[in-house]
Amino acid sequence: MTTVTEVGADIFKITTFVKEIDLQFSQFLVRDDESFLFHTGLRAMFPLVRDAVAKVLPPASVRWVGFSHFEADECGSLNEWLAAAPRAQAACGFVGAMVSVNDFASRPARALQPDEVVATGKRRLRFLRTPHVPHCWEAGLFFEETTRTLFCSDLLHQMGDVEAKTTVDVIGRARETLVGYEKTPFAEYLPYTHKTDGILRRLADLRPERLATMHGATFEGDGSRALRDLAGVYREVLGEK
For residue 185, what pLDDT is reported?
66
pLDDT band per the 50, 70, 90 thresholds, residue 181: confident
pLDDT in tens, 215-231: 999 999 999 999 999 99
Three-state helix/strand/coil letters over the chain: CEEEEEEECCEEEEEEEEHHHCEEEEEEEECCCCCEEECCCCHHHHHHHHHHHCCCCCHHHCCEEECCCCCHHHHCCHHHHHHHCCCCEEEEEHHHHHHHHHHHCCCCCEEECCCCEEECCCCEEEEEECCCCCCCCCCEEEEECCCCEEECCCCCCCCCCCCCEECCCCHHHHHHHHHHHCCCCCCCCCCCCCCHHHHHHHHHCCCCCEEECCCCCEEECCHHHHHHHHHHHHHHHHCCC
User: What CATH number is associated with residue 208?
Assistant: 3.60.15.10
Kindly report whether the global pTM for this prediction surpasses the value 0.85.
yes
Q: Work out how many domains the chain is built from and give that number.
A: 1
Statement: residue 183 has pLDDT above 80: no
Q: Tell me which residue range forms the domain holding 104.
A: 2-238
